[in-house]
């Protein structure tokens, strides 16, 4: 199965902090950098250019969720940036996902680059059964809800989903072999509890069959981000157990 290098979530507020992390993370193998809402809303395209200039593959994680026409046009703009992965909420429905995929492909074609892989957000890793039932009034179990979104995303032609590694086995039962499971909520064994609810270690994510892990604070807030990245990368890719 296809496994990617870890995706490091560069969730920082300023250009200086982001660039300092980019410069540190220019190691072999170079991680995929994930630019999310905080950085992109604050700095815009310039930060994508800075990452690409340094040879990073870019995961632009903006989690689009709007009416199909708006998503189509926004995704075309994302497609023109020539990035490698991006996201849309499966909860927006199949029409919205189809419009997003079309926009992404059109934008990429306009500038002559390959379109990014479009990943559907299923249930965020900060959601648990209690929130799902008591606040969202969803009758399905969390796993069933994630399976449903994964099937919907695959049916409309998306490359994969973002989910917790806890759900990979259930997703694989209802989707094809090439469908990607990208898994945030990764915490090394020693990490503290925070807003993430459905967490998994890098080793467990590998065992469970994750195609790529997304890791933010355990790397970016570490005293030595490079050492933290390398340890997590080895645990995920090289079958070297986490110490
Ligand atoms: O789309 C995502 O990447 C994402 C989906 C999800 O369900 N949960 C989740 O944590 N993420 C992102 O993954 C990153 C996790 O960061 P840390 O919790 O600091 O490791 C953040 O940038 C989140 O926005």
Q: What is the pLDDT of residues 21-49, one digit of tens each?
A: 999 999 999 999 999 999 999 999 999 99
1 or 92: whose pLDDT is higher?
Answer: 92
ω into 7 cis (within 30 of 0): no
Atom of ligand 1 nearest to the CA of 214: 13
Q: What is the CATH number of the domain that holds 67?
A: 3.20.20.70
Query: What CA–CA distance (Å, rounded) separates 189 from 208?
Result: 16
Judge whether residue 243 has pLDDT over 50: no
Ligand 1 atom closest to the CA of 182, numbered from 1: 3
pLDDT value, residue 238: 73
Q: Which domain holds residue 178?
A: 7-237
Q: Can you give the pTM of this predicted structure?
A: 0.95
Mean pLDDT over 53-74 rounds to 98
In a domain, 243, yes or no: no
**Cα–Cα distance measured from residue 201 to residue 232, given in angstroms and rounded to the nearest whole number:** 9
Is there a domain that residue 131 lies in? Answer: yes
Asked whether residue 147 carries a pLDDT value surpassing 90, the answer given is: yes
Examine the predicted complex and report whether its ipTM is higher than 0.90: yes
| Burial track 51-89 (b if 16+ CB lie within 10 A, e otherwise) | bbeeebbbbbbbbbbbebeebbebbbebbbbbbbbbbbb
Q: Residue 1: inside a domain, yes or no?
A: no
In a domain, 25, yes or no: yes
Positive or negative: CA dihedral 5, 236, 223, 42: positive
Residue 239 pLDDT > 90: no
| Residue 240 alpha carbon to ligand 1 centre in Å | 24
Residue 66 is among the residues annotated as catalytic for this protein: yes
Asked whether residue 68 is marked as a ligand-binding residue, the answer is yes
pLDDT digits 0-9 by tens, 95-117: 999 999 999 999 999 999 999 99
Domain count for the chain, please give it: 1
Instruction: Tell whether 2 is covered by a domain.
Output: no
- With contact defined as beta carbons under 8 Å apart, do 236 and 206 qualify? yes
Of 184, 187, 217, 228, the one to substitute when testing ligand 1's pocket (max ligand atoms within 8 A of C-beta) is 184
The pLDDT of residue 195 is 79
Ligand 1 contacts (CB < 6 A) are 9, 11, 36, 61, 87, 121, 124-125, 162, 184-185, 196, 214-218
């Amino acid at each position: 199965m296809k496994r990617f290098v870890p995706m490091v979530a560069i969730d920082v507020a300023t250009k200086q902090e982001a660039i300092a992390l980019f410069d540190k993370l220019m190691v072999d193998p170079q991680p995929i950098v994930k630019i999310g809402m905080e950085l992109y809303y604050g700095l815009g395209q310039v930060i994508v250019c800075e990452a690409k200039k340094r040879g990073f593959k870019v995961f632009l994680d903006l989690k689009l969720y709007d009416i199909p026409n708006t998503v189509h046009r926004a995704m075309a703009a994302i497609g023109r940036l020539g990035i490698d992965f991006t996201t849309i909420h499966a909860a927006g429905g199949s029409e919205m996902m189809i419009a997003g995929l079309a926009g992404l492909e059109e934008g990429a074609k306009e500038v002559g680059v390959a379109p990014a892989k479009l990943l559907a957000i299923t249930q965020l890793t900060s959601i648990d059964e209690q929130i799902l039932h008591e606040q969202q009034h969803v009758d399905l179990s969390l796993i069933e809800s994630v399976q449903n979104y994964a099937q919907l995303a695959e049916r409309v032609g998306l490359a994969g989903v973002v989910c917790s590694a806890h759900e990979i086995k259930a997703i694989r039962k209802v989707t094809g072999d090439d469908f990607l499971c990208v898994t945030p909520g990764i915490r090394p064994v020693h990490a503290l509890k925070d807003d993430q609810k459905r967490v998994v270690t890098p080793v467990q994510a590998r065992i469970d069959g994750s195609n790529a892990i997304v890791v933010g604070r355990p790397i970016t807030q570490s005293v030595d981000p490079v050492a933290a990245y390398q340890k997590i990368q080895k645990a995920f890719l090289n079958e070297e157990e986490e110490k």
